[in-house]
């Protein structure tokens, strides 16, 4: 190989040749020879210099030397006749020691001599990164950097991931973004406090365990056995996820990680619950909540996924009006053939109907129905309409619908709707109708702004036991809270002839058929809309009134809004989203009807079912769980779980079976932050030194000898300097390093 540099000719001396050798090594090569055309102007001889094992700190000398020297190259021989010499200006010839043409079994790269380095051409991250991370771990790099910094403490609170499977891109994004922030703060001289944690309770883990068992094993599964298996699964998953996070290169205090299943964490969670209960933020009530029949438990809003492709059987039905107040006496002329037209996407809730709600600001029309253009016997298949037989038997049927929807309904139903009269929504209040199934009388009530003319009829079927708006309206009017559905989503005996039917399946169809048979169904059609699904089982949920424990958001909503305004949000518009979410959030259902979780520490009176929960009982349960873990709630007797004050009445009480929402587990970690800060202070105090300069040592004898030696020296100096003031004794107290 030949390499030519800089056309300039001077005489080379031995010092120049040696300097060239050093310069050559600055380019980090080790197996070359430099060839000089002339070592002096009068002699025609060739000088070679070996560059093996030479080093230079600066490659810049190469170029200055090249400008000073003229060289020629030789292609094969160590010497060459001057006549055959090829002068190309200043030349540095790089020749391989084992020169020659390419061998038959060789490679062309062997004929070229290039600089060699130990730095790989490829990243080879699968090998290099674990090696680098091992160095970090072995040398406790994160811990040492944190201890070195003295610019204040920066705490990044780690919202715990869920320990129910392998990591995905969402986990990676979350942890890497946090790692970027932490490293930035480390470079700014902050003492970064980043303690990773894991959510270890809840339904997803419980389902994982159940899915791993066969039918026989499930039958033999007790609550304690299930909890034991769930704990093992969670701990195993934590180790797997932690290894993956480390593999991502994330720096954290991995040795101090927290798990929500640790006894000390569970005890702190009980304490948080107790403080909220004592301050009045926790209450028990019967109200509609999102219920998952597939999981047999209540769900919080955050545990829902909304399927925008869900298709419901929407139904138009009529309820016959039977009474009107004196304020609306003009409607009497249309009785007894005046009906309310309602629309619902949940026909299965009709048995729980308690009222029909109207918007007091809307105009409503009394229309005469005639000229049916559709055969009432037409049945519906998938994606088709089905019309009812509601016109049979009535020669003159009148309906009440929103005025703005008359033309829309006329087109949809294929009927002639003739306007007879208009009334204001507020005038319809307190009119009464007959329930289409059990014939009880129900009122017309004024609802909220959720009643619009965007869809339906402008009148809303109201079942307080199966809807949040319905529940609020029911409280206002004192409506009965009826919910004839059990934990599996099946009608109870309270539903009469529908008992035992699945409300999301054949029960829904049965209600539609019953109304059709009794001339109360106008039309059924498929309706695609956004519908809540259980985020774990991916199956539809229902609204169902049950006895649950709630956190009253109203009790601390103002304080939460104030806290939001004190935070710097990036990007700034994020504050709008969190503010809107907080201002409109309803009370939080925190109880779950599952086994794997932290128990709600409450006892119920066997006869009256009144709950027993106060500061004494909560403190006692907290102390037990801090030592034995939350499993104690399942294997200890009521007598042991109750404080001594109540033990003589233990037979009158039974333990609650509800557990806390796993999201309550997560937020309870905030209470652990003061404890971590206190531990951090204790760690700092342990790193102490003598202000006199003596290094602190665990060997007491050495320390005593050192102190005694200093004392003797001090006394000697005091004796020699009696006229001067004695020096103060050295400060031998520990101080923070």
CATH of the domain at 166: 3.40.50.620
* DSSP assigned state of 466: G
- End of a domain among 216, 251, 267? 267
Average of per-residue pLDDT across 538-553 = 93
* pLDDT tops 70 at residue 640: yes
pLDDT given at position 53: 36
* CATH classification of the domain holding 459: 3.90.740.10
By mean pLDDT, which of 244-248, 385-389, 449-453, 607-611 is the weakest? 385-389
The tally of domains found in the chain comes to 5
pLDDT given at position 130: 92
pLDDT given at position 5: 40
How far is Cα 352 from Cα 492, in angstroms, rounded to an integer?
A: 12
pLDDT tens digits for 437-476? 998 999 999 998 889 999 899 999 999 999 999 999 999 9
By mean pLDDT, which of 147-161, 401-415, 502-516, 663-677 is the weakest? 663-677
pLDDT given at position 701: 55
> Do 84 and 12 belong to one domain?
yes
**Considering the domain boundaries, does residue 672 fall inside one?**
no
CA 241 to chain centre: 15
* DSSP assigned state of 485: B
pLDDT given at position 187: 96
When comparing pLDDT for 468 and 722, which is higher?
A: 468
* pLDDT tops 60 at residue 150: yes
Average of per-residue pLDDT across 360-369 = 93
pLDDT given at position 420: 92
Label residue 727 by pLDDT band (50, 70, 90).
very low
* DSSP assigned state of 394: -
* pLDDT tops 70 at residue 725: no
**Considering the domain boundaries, does residue 292 fall inside one?**
no
* pLDDT tops 60 at residue 63: no
* pLDDT tops 90 at residue 81: no
3-state secondary structure of 450: coil
Nearest to 380 by CA among 466, 335, 316: 316
pLDDT given at position 46: 39
pLDDT given at position 681: 62
* pLDDT tops 70 at residue 40: no
Nearest to 659 by CA among 633, 641, 639: 633
DSSP string across 218-244: HHT--HHHHHHHHHHHHHHHHHHHHHH
DSSP string across 7-68: -------HHHHHHHHHHHHHTT--S-EEEES-SSSS----EEEE-TT---S-THHHHHHHHH
Average of per-residue pLDDT across 276-297 = 93
When comparing pLDDT for 481 and 123, which is higher?
A: 481
pLDDT given at position 68: 45
Beta bridge partners of 502: 490
**Considering the domain boundaries, does residue 564 fall inside one?**
no
Residue 522 burial class via C-beta count within 10 angstroms: exposed 0-12, middle 13-18, buried 19 and up: buried
Average of per-residue pLDDT across 149-171 = 91
pLDDT given at position 702: 60
Enter the tokens of residue 155. 């705490």
**Considering the domain boundaries, does residue 551 fall inside one?**
no
pLDDT given at position 674: 57
By mean pLDDT, which of 518-532, 656-670, 710-724 is the weakest? 710-724
> Do 337 and 473 belong to one domain?
yes
- End of a domain among 508, 529, 550? 529
pLDDT given at position 386: 84
Dihedral of CA atoms 276, 281, 284, 288 in degrees, nearest 10, equals -130
Average of per-residue pLDDT across 554-566 = 90
pLDDT given at position 703: 62
> Do 493 and 442 belong to one domain?
yes
By mean pLDDT, which of 435-439, 638-642, 722-726 is the weakest? 722-726
- What percent of the chain has pLDDT above 70? 77
Label residue 51 by pLDDT band (50, 70, 90).
very low
* Cβ contacts of 410 within 8 Å, gap of 6 or more: 416, 417
**Considering the domain boundaries, does residue 680 fall inside one?**
no
pLDDT given at position 676: 58
Query: Which secondary-structure segment (H or E) carries 734?
Result: strand 734-736
* DSSP assigned state of 162: B
pLDDT given at position 306: 95
Label residue 718 by pLDDT band (50, 70, 90).
confident
Bridge-based pairing of strands 397-402 and 338-344 is parallel
pLDDT tens digits for 400-410? 999 999 999 99
* pLDDT tops 50 at residue 27: no
How far is Cα 459 from Cα 474, in angstroms, rounded to an integer?
A: 15
> Do 17 and 95 belong to one domain?
yes
> Do 393 and 477 belong to one domain?
yes
> Do 224 and 330 belong to one domain?
no
Average of per-residue pLDDT across 688-700 = 37
By mean pLDDT, which of 188-192, 508-512, 603-607, 708-712 is the weakest? 708-712
> Do 153 and 75 belong to one domain?
no
By mean pLDDT, which of 49-53, 170-174, 282-286, 660-664 is the weakest? 49-53
344: left (phi over 0), alpha (psi -120 to 50) or beta: beta
pLDDT given at position 603: 97
Average of per-residue pLDDT across 525-543 = 93
* Cβ contacts of 348 within 8 Å, gap of 6 or more: 491, 503, 504, 507, 508, 511
Angle at 216 between CA 210 and CA 221, to 5 degrees: 55
Average of per-residue pLDDT across 496-513 = 96
**Considering the domain boundaries, does residue 466 fall inside one?**
yes
**Considering the domain boundaries, does residue 586 fall inside one?**
no
Query: Which secondary-structure segment (H or E) carries 187?
Result: helix 169-187
* pLDDT tops 60 at residue 70: no
Q: Domain range spanning residue 709?
A: 688-736
CA 186 to chain centre: 25
> Do 360 and 416 belong to one domain?
yes
pLDDT tens digits for 572-601? 899 999 999 898 888 888 999 999 999 999
pLDDT tens digits for 231-285? 999 999 999 999 999 999 999 999 999 999 999 999 999 999 999 999 999 999 9
* pLDDT tops 70 at residue 25: no
* Cβ contacts of 194 within 8 Å, gap of 6 or more: 155, 156, 158, 178, 182, 251, 252, 253
> Do 328 and 419 belong to one domain?
yes
Enter the tokens of residue 593. 């009807």
Nearest to 428 by CA among 415, 416, 446, 414: 446
Average of per-residue pLDDT across 348-361 = 95
Query: Which secondary-structure segment (H or E) carries 574?
Result: helix 574-584
How far is Cα 138 from Cα 130, in angstroms, rounded to an integer?
A: 12
* pLDDT tops 60 at residue 45: no
- What integer best gives the mean pLDDT of the chain? 81
- The pTM score is 0.67
* DSSP assigned state of 606: T
- Residue whose structure tokens are 């040398």: 139
* pLDDT tops 90 at residue 149: yes
Label residue 687 by pLDDT band (50, 70, 90).
very low
DSSP string across 85-144: -EE-SSEEE---SS-SSPPTTS-GGGG------SS-SS--HHHHHHHHHHHHHHTTHHHH
**Considering the domain boundaries, does residue 27 fall inside one?**
yes
CB 422 within 8 A of CB 365: yes
> Do 508 and 624 belong to one domain?
no
> Do 361 and 459 belong to one domain?
yes
pLDDT given at position 141: 94
> Do 500 and 360 belong to one domain?
yes
Average of per-residue pLDDT across 72-77 = 40
Angle, helices 60-68 vs 14-26, to 10°: value is: 150
Nearest to 91 by CA among 116, 77, 72, 76: 72
CB 48 within 8 A of CB 12: no
- End of a domain among 465, 494, 529? 529
């Amino acid at each position: 190989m030949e390499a030519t540099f800089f056309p300039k000719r001077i005489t080379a001396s031995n010092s120049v040749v040696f300097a060239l050798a050093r310069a050559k090594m600055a380019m980090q090569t080790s197996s070359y020879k430099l060839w000089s055309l002339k070592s002096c102007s009068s002699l025609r001889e060739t000088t070679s210099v070996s560059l093996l094992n030479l080093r230079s700190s600066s490659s810049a000398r190469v170029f200055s030397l090249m400008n000073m020297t003229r060289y020629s190259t030789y292609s094969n021989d160590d010497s060459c006749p001057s006549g055959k010499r090829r002068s190309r200006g200043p030349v540095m010839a790089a020749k391989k020691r084992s020169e020659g043409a390419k061998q038959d079994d060789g490679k062309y790269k062997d004929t070229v001599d290039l600089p060699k380095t130990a730095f790989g051409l490829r990243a080879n991250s699968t090998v290099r990164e674990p090696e680098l991370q091992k160095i970090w771990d072995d040398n406790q790099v994160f811990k040492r950097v944190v201890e070195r910094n003295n610019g204040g403490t920066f705490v990044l609170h780690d919202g715990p991931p869920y320990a129910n499977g392998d990591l995905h891109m969402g986990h990676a994004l979350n942890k890497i973004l946090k790692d970027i922030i932490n490293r930035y703060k480390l470079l700014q001289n902050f003492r970064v406090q980043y303690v990773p944690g894991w959510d270890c309770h809840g339904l997803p883990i419980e389902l994982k365990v159940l899915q791993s068992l066969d039918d026989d094993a499930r039958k033999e599964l007790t609550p304690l056995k299930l909890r034991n298996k769930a704990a093992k699964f969670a701990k195993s998953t934590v180790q797997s996820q932690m290894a993956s996070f480390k593999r991502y290169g994330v720096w954290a205090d991995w040795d101090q990680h927290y798990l929500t299943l640790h006894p000390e964490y569970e005890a702190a969670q009980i304490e948080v619950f107790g403080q909220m209960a004592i301050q009045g933020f926790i209450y028990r009530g019967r109200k509609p909540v999102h219920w998952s029949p597939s999981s047999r438990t209540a769900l919080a809003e955050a545990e829902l996924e909304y399927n925008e492709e869900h298709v419901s059987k929407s139904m138009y039905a009529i309820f016959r009006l039977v009474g009107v107040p004196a304020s609306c006496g003009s409607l009497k002329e249309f009785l007894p053939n005046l009906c309310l037209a309602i629309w619902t996407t949940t026909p299965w809730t009709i048995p729980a109907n308690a009222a029909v709600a109207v918007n007091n600001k809307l105009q409503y029309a009394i229309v005469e129905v005639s000229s049916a253009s559709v055969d009432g016997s037409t049945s519906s298949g998938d994606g088709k309409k089905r019309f009812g037989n509601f016109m049979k038997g009535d020669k003159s049927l009148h309906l009440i619908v929103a005025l703005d929807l008359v033309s829309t309904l006329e087109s949809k139903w294929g009927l002639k709707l003739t306007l007879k009269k208009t009334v204001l929504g507020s005038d319809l209040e307190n009119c009464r109708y007959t329930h289409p199934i059990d014939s009880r009388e129900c009122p017309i009530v004024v609802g909220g702004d959720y009643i619009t003319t965007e869809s339906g009829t402008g009148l809303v079927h109201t079942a307080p036991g199966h809807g949040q708006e319905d529940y609020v309206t029911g409280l206002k009017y004192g409506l009965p809270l009826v919910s004839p559905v059990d934990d599996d989503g099946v009608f109870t005996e309270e539903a009469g002839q529908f008992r035992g039917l699945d409300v999301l399946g054949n029960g829904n169809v049965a209600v539609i058929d019953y109304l059709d048979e009794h001339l109360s169904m106008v039309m059924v059609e498929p309706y695609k809309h956004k519908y809540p699904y259980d985020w774990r089982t991916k199956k539809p949920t229902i609204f169902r009134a049950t006895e649950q424990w709630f956190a009253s958001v109203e009790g601390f909503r103002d304080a939460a809004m104030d806290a939001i305004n004190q935070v710097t949000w990036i990007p700034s518009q994020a504050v709008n989203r969190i503010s809107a979410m907080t201002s409109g959030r309803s009370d939080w259902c925190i109880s779950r009807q599952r086994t794997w979780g932290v128990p709600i520490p409450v006892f119920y009176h066997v006869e009256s079912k009144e709950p027993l929960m106060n500061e004494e009982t909560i403190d006692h349960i907290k102390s037990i769980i801090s030592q034995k873990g939350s499993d104690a709630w399942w294997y200890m007797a009521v007598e042991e779980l109750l404080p001594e004050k109540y033990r003589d009445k233990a037979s009158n009480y039974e333990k609650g079976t509800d557990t806390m929402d796993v999201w309550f587990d997560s937020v309870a970690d905030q209470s652990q932050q003061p404890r971590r800060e206190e531990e951090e202070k204790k760690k700092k105090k342990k790193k102490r030194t003598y202000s006199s300069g003596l290094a602190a040592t665990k060997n007491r004898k050495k320390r005593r000898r050192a102190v005694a030696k200093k004392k003797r020296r001090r006394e000697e100096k005091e004796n020699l300097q009696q006229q001067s003031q004695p020096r103060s004794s050295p400060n031998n107290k520990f101080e923070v390093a």
